[in-house]
Structures are given as structure tokens and as C-alpha cells.
A and B are shown apart, each in its own frame.
Chain A
Amino acid sequence: MKEPKSKLFSQRLFRLHVAAGITFSIIMYITIFFGVFAIFLPQIQAWEKPSRYIEKVDIKDIDYNDIINSVLKNPDFPKDNILVNLPGRMGDPAVSIGNRFVKPVVFNPATQKEIKDEDKSITNLAAFLNELHYGQPLKLIGRLSFGFVAVGTMLLIITGLILIYLFKFKYKATNQQATFSTVHVKVFTWTFIPFLLITLSGAVMNVGLVSAGPMSKILTKGEASSIDGVVGTVLFPQNRPVKKENIEAKMLPLSELLKKAHEANPQLTFKQIKLLNWNDTTARADFIGYNPYKPFLNGGIFNIPYVSFNIHTGKLIENKKVLDSVVPVFIAEGIFFLHFLFGIDIFSRTLIALMMAMCGIGIGFGVMLWLEKKAKKFEGKITFYHWMGKISLATMIGVIPATAILFLLQWVLPFELEDRVLWQQGMFYNAWLATLFWSFYRINSYQASKEFFISGGILFILSVLLHWIYYNPTLLPSTILSVDIVLLFLGVLCMFIAKKLPKNRTDAKIFWSSKKRRN
């Protein structure tokens, strides 16, 4: 007997969604989990470096010329294309003077004195969390597989949306399965647009750009072998270098020019200054900023507004506004905006982080829904013990104590310790692996998840307390202290969840069913 065409279609649609979901869920969850931390990369980066526990200074009151001249006294420092990162860029309260080819020199803007910067070999917490977010620890293999997962996730979004459209999901949860389904469906009905944009930009970065070689070769009829050769001039326009006249000239104070730049385009918040031909009559400064009034059109990585001056004469050279770009750049920027959030304020960041955390929870409930359907078959016969359940328990919940260890070790390990970062990351991996062992060892997954939550909570709280023992919390700048408070809150939340969660399957059935049955 043959099934009718439409029934076959919906069966396949459902099956495709479930099969792809189980295949991609774990890596997608990891991406989202560390992605939420990566959203707060600027804040964590300032928190992890004691050298950045300095007060904020208004960017217009800093004597940049003095700082730059003292850096240029070092004959090894390149004289051209100097990048000055203004305080507040990526949450960094310090001024850093850099160049593409050298390590930046960092200054305290209040005292104009050089800061001993902790480099990647001493502390690398925020950057490491960001690398875990896109699979970088496994290099190209990791990046590619995370990219394929992003493509798979888009397939899940497409099939999921068709499923929501075709089937009328009833939002009256009477048993656990229905609760899981309701949460899964509701979360993604509300968040699919930002989720899709973020997944799409992730897929572009990890798969799209890597695989664009043949396409660019066809498009340029064999001239360009990588995508940069095709779209580079549009996406990353570079100003042509200005020829030096080799006449030594006096440089106007950059802080004054910054004020003029603000007058030229009052909507911009300035983040960076690019300097060309310093100490020459042709010296040019590009004041690069972000326009918060035009989100999705700038703030990603492609469309960057700036104001340029000649530093010697103070004459305005160029005033590039957000809307001075072509449509494809806006499309690219719109897709990438939510993923990069360069220069975006903490409020929007928190909003997007919460939205993505919801997506992570939605994925978790999707997997639980699948497991619940499997578990039903064994109802009342034997305890349900499934490899997928154990692996997702370790990756999804076990990652919490593992990450908490990463934060705790930031203050346990002394900064002078050799291979400090290696110890920190190695212990993180081992802890995460240990949670996998623990998930398989504990027959009752409910108990194991409670233990993961409670240990994660305690470790997060300990990391904050240890931080406060080393650094007096009353003297910390408010930005650093707020990271502590958020971590403390996260720890308490984990412990609260651990206390609330059901102890075993019988409890769980009551816990996840409708209110009527609980009373």
C-alpha cells in the first residue's frame, strides 16, 4: 500500500528535520554556548588583564602626539600605517599604538605611561573562548566542520519553518514530550531571524570564503584565484598611499583633530585612528568610527565610516559616511552585523546574547524531545541509557563546569607561571572530558546534570571570590566589577537550576507537565 504524496512529504520533512537535528545539534550547541561568551569578548578581555584595571578617560583629552612620538623613538617601530586604538575600542580602556606587523605598545591614557601588556602567552581567556566558538583549536578541520554544521543548521531552520507552517502545534503541554516540543518550537518561532543571520554569516566565514576559489576563477575568467581578487576592492577598500614629500612638518594635536572630526560627522563614535606619513607635510589621519544610528548598515566588518584630515594643515580630506557605499556592501553588512557587533554598546550585546542563549536552550530541548521519544519505548522496563543522551549531557551541561574551571584557573595560576595558558586550556579540556566519563558513569543522567550545574555554579562563584581576594573589589573600575557580578549571578543561577531540576525520571514527568498535575 502506498502512502499519499502529501503524507510522504510531511513524513520526510519531519524525518529530515530530526535526523539533521541530531547530527548537528551538539556542535551547534557548542558554537552557541561559546558564542555567548564571545559576544562579551571585550568585557572578558578587560577582566582577564590586571593591567587594564584603569579608569576611563575622555578620548578628546588625551595627548596622542606625545604618546606616538615616544613610541617612534624606538627605531624598530614602523613609521607608516600606524594604528591608534582609542580607549573604549573593544572594551579596552587603554590606548594602544600598533601596526599590522608589530606587537602593539599600550599606554594608560590618564598617566600617559606605558603599560606592561600581558600578551597571548600569559593570558588568553577571551580569545580562547572565541576560538572554541568557531572551531579554531582544530585548525582548518575544526573551522570547516563548524561551517558545515552552520549549513546544516540553515537546513534545519528551513525545514523547521515549513514544519511550523504545515502543522498546527498545540501550545497546551500536558506531558513532558509536549513541553519539550512547545519550548523548542516557541523559542525558534521567536528567534529564527537573528539566528538565521548569525548562522548564515558563520557559514560564509567558515565554508563560503574558503570554497570561493573556483567561483572567483570563473567570474574573473581565470584572473583571480581567491575571492579577495574579485570583491576585495569593494568590501575592503584601501586608500591609495600618498607619496611622501620628505619635508619635516609640525603635527597638529590629534585630540584637536578628533574634535574637528566630531564636528564633521557628529553621529560617529570614534574607535581608531589610522596615520599615514607621520611627521611629513602629507601626513594624513583617518578617524575611524561607528555610527550607532544606522545599525545593520555599519558595525560589521565591511562598511566603515571615517573622517580624514591632513595632520599638518588640519584640512578635511574626506568624510566617508555610512550611506556612501554600494548595495552589495549593505547586504553583506546586514548579514554580518549581528555576528560581529563591532563597537556596539553593552545593552545591545546583552540583548543578542540572551537571544542566542535562548536558541541554545531551544536546541537542548529539541535533543531532549528526541531522547524522550526513545526513552518511552523502554518505559517501565529498564533505565534509559543512551549514548546520544550521555554525549549531549557531557557536551551541553558538562561544558558549564569545564568553562567555570577556565575562569577559576585565570586567578589560581600565577601570572609568572611558565606555559600558563597551556595549563589553563589543558585542564579545561581534561575537565570537559571528565564530564563525559562522569555522564557515562552515572546511570541516572538527572543526577549527573544536577552535579554538573552545582559544580559549575560553585566554580564560577569561586573564580569571582578569588578575583576579589587578589584585587580589592571596591577599587576595581565599574566595567571590571560588572563582569564579576555577572559571573557571580551566573554561578548562583547554575546552583538554583541544580536545586530545581528533577532528581529522576518519575520526578521529571511531574516537573515538566502542566501546572494542573503538579498541584
Chain B
Amino acid sequence: MISNFYNYLILPEEKGKKIGLFRTLSAIFGGLAVAYLGMTLLAFTLPMEVKQSAIISIMLNTFVWAGMATWIALSYTRLSALLKFLIPTIVFSITLYILY
């Protein structure tokens, strides 16, 4: 069962003519999580006051979401799509938790 699922994740689809539900969901929700947390972190790390850097985050948030969604949906395997979602989300969350 687990190895079946692992194979499902690690083997690339034979054809790229269908995106599939797994990639679609990872792209939409993963892209949102990565973009949102990443832009929040950006507002902290930019060398200006939060009330100024937050403007940049807010303005570019949705664009980064679209970019991340593209990046995740076009991964070679489903596993890499999942990792592109999970790793930045976890890293950003921990960093934000430390900064908070």
C-alpha cells in the first residue's frame, strides 16, 4: 500500500497531456501556502519598516501565488510537486515562528 503510493508519487506520468487532480490541488493550495508565508517572511526581512515592506508583500502576493502554482504544477514527478509545496511551507513557518 505505502510502496504503491510511493511509486505513484515518484514515477512521472507517461504523458503530460493531463495535469491531474493531485498536481492541481498541490498547485492551488501549495502555491497559496508558499506564496503567503514567503511574502510574510519577505516583509520581515526587507531592510525597511514593516509598515512599508508590508505594502510590497501585499502588492505582489497574488502574483507570487500564480508563479508558485505554475512552478509546482510543472514538476517532473508528483513527489517533487509535493516537496516543492511542503519544504518551503515548513521552512517559512518555522522561521516565522522564530521571528514572531
Interfacial chain A residues near B53, Cβ < 8 Å: 328
Question: Any chain B CB within 8 A of the CB of A170?
Answer: no
Highest count of chain B CB atoms <10 Å: which of A207, A209, A215: A215
Q: Assess the B61–A219 pair: CB atoms within 8 A.
A: no
Alpha-carbon distance A1/B57, docked complex (angstroms): 45
Q: Considering the complex, give the chain B residue whose CB is closest to the CB of A206.
A: B62
Question: Any chain B CB within 8 A of the CB of A11?
Answer: yes
Q: Assess the A208–B61 pair: CB atoms within 8 A.
A: yes
**Total A-B residue pairs with C-beta atoms closer than 8 Å?**
124
Question: Any chain B CB within 8 A of the CB of A73?
Answer: no
Stretch at the interface among A113-121, A231-239, A367-375, A458-466: A231-239
Interfacial chain B residues near A58, Cβ < 8 Å: none
Alpha-carbon distance A230/B50, docked complex (angstroms): 8
Q: Could you tell me the distance in whole angstroms from the C-beta of B85 to the nearest C-beta in chain A?
A: 16
Q: Assess the B70–A218 pair: CB atoms within 8 A.
A: no
Given the interface contacts A3-B14, A155-B69, does A204 sit within 8 Å of B54 by beta carbon? no
Interfacial chain B residues near A5, Cβ < 8 Å: 12, 76
Question: Any chain B CB within 8 A of the CB of A216?
Answer: yes
Alpha-carbon distance A200/B61, docked complex (angstroms): 9
Q: Assess the A326–B52 pair: CB atoms within 8 A.
A: yes
Interface residues of A in 1-34 (CB under 8 A from B): 1-3, 5, 7-13, 15-16, 19
Question: Any chain B CB within 8 A of the CB of A154?
Answer: yes
Q: Assess the B51–A231 pair: CB atoms within 8 A.
A: yes
Taking a contact as CB atoms closer than 8 A, the residue among A10, A154, A233 that contacts B51 in the complex is A233
For A, the interface residue count at a CB cutoff of 8 angstroms equals 51
Interfacial chain B residues near A10, Cβ < 8 Å: 16
Q: Assess the B55–A221 pair: CB atoms within 8 A.
A: no
Stretch at the interface among A310-318, A329-337, A506-514: A329-337
Interfacial chain A residues near B59, Cβ < 8 Å: 200, 204, 208, 331-332, 335
Alpha-carbon distance A327/B15, docked complex (angstroms): 46
Chain A 185-229 near chain B by CB (<8 Å), digits 1 or 0: 000000000000000100110011101101110111100000100
Q: Assess the A212–B67 pair: CB atoms within 8 A.
A: no
Question: Any chain B CB within 8 A of the CB of A159?
Answer: yes
Alpha-carbon distance A155/B67, docked complex (angstroms): 6
Alpha-carbon distance A429/B12, docked complex (angstroms): 47
Given the interface contacts A204-B58, A219-B44, does A15 sit within 8 Å of B17 by beta carbon? yes
Q: Assess the B62–A150 pair: CB atoms within 8 A.
A: yes
Alpha-carbon distance A157/B17, docked complex (angstroms): 20
Interfacial chain A residues near B70, Cβ < 8 Å: 16, 155, 158-159
Q: Assess the B63–A200 pair: CB atoms within 8 A.
A: yes
Q: Assess the B54–A227 pair: CB atoms within 8 A.
A: yes
- A11-B17, A151-B65, A200-B59 provided; 19 other pairs, C-beta below 8 A? A5-B12, A5-B76, A8-B76, A11-B15, A11-B16, A12-B73, A15-B17, A15-B19, A151-B66, A155-B70, A200-B60, A200-B63, A215-B39, A219-B54, A227-B54, A234-B52, A235-B55, A328-B48, A331-B55
**B residues near A, CB below 8 A?**
12-19, 36, 39-40, 43-44, 48, 50-63, 65-67, 69-70, 73-74, 76, 96, 100
